Chain A
Amino acid sequence: MPGDLAMWFFILAELSVFAILILAFAVTQALKPQMFSDSRLLLDTSTGLAMTLSLLTGGLFAALAQEQVRRSRPRRGAVYLLAALLAASVYVLLKLTEYHHLLGSGLGMEHNTFFTLYWILTGFHFLHVLLGMVILGWLADRCRRGLYNADNRSGFESGVLYWHMVDLIWVVLFPLVYVLG
C-alpha cells in the first residue's frame, strides 16, 4: 500500500467520524422528510457539481504528482501539486460563495435541522479541505527542493492519501446533501 500504515489508520478513524455524521443526517432526514426536501431546494446542485469536479481534478493532479515522484522527478511533481492546489482553490471559492449566499438569505445553522446538519457536515469537510491544501502546499515545497524521490516517498504518499480521503468523503456527501430525497 502507498504511504505509512499510521496514515491508513488515521484515514479509517476519519472515515468513521464522517460515517457517524452522515448517518445522523440520513436518520434525521427520515424523520423530517418534507423539511429536508424543501430545504434542499435552496441549494444549487450545479454549484455542488462544480465543487465536486474541482475536488476530483485536484485528486487527479495529486495522483499525477505522486507518479512523478515515483519516477524521481520531484520538481515536475511540484508543478502537478500546484495544479492540484489551483483546482482545490476553485472549490474553496465556490464553497465560500455558497456559504455567503446562504448566510445572506438567513439560512444559517439555526434556521432548521437540515441547515444545522448541512453546516456541521459541509463545514467539517471544508476544514479538512483546507488542511489538505496546507499539506499539498507543504509537499509541493519539499518537492521543489528535491526532498522526495523514488526511494524516499512514503511521507509524500501519505499526504496525497489524505487528499484522496477528502475526495472520497465528498463523493458520498454530495448526493446526500444536494441531490437525494
Chain B
Amino acid sequence: MSVSRVLLVCWAALAALSLCTVLLGRAEGTRLLTIAILLVAVGKAWLIADGFMEMRHAPRLWRRLMLSWAVILATVVGLTLVVFR
C-alpha cells in the first residue's frame, strides 16, 4: 500500500472512531460505555502516533513512550470515573 493510501486509511479510521465517540456518548451512560469511549480515544491516539507520526518505524523505546501516553491517561481517567463513583 502506498504511503498516501495508508494516510487516507488512517484518516478515515480516525473520522469513523470520532463519530463512534459521539454516538457512544449519546447513549445512556454505563461503565461499559465509559470504558468503550476511552478505548476508542486510545485507538485514535495510536492511529495518530503510528500512522501520522510514523512511530511504527521508530525505535521501540520511543514508540512505547508515545503509545503509553494515551493508555496511562485513559486508565487514570477511567479509574476516576468507574471506581470512585
Contacts and interface: CB of A to CB of B under 8 A. Distances in A.
A59 B55 CA distance: 15
B4 A64 contact: yes
B41 A172 contact: yes
Interface string B23-63: 01110010000100110110011001101111101110010
B44 to A, nearest CB: 4
A60 B54 contact: no
A145 B3 CA distance: 25
A12 interface: yes
Contacts of B62: 1, 8
Interface string B1-24: 001100110110011001101101
A132 to B, nearest CB: 13
Contacts of A30: 80-81, 84-85
Interface residues of A, number: 41
A3 to B, nearest CB: 9
B76 A56 contact: no
A29 B18 CA distance: 22
Contact of B4 (A56, A67, A174): A67
Contacts of B29: 181
Nearest to B8: A60
Contact of B80 (A19, A26, A64): A26
Given A161-B53, A175-B37, 4 more contacts: A59-B48, A59-B52, A167-B48, A171-B44
Interface of B: 3-4, 7-8, 10-11, 14-15, 18-19, 21-22, 24-26, 29, 34, 37-38, 40-41, 44-45, 48-49, 51-55, 57-59, 62, 65, 69-70, 72-74, 76-77, 80-81, 84-85
| A-B pairs with lowest CB-CB distance, top 8 | A179-B25, A30-B80, A60-B11, A171-B44, A26-B77, A30-B84, A1-B58, A26-B80
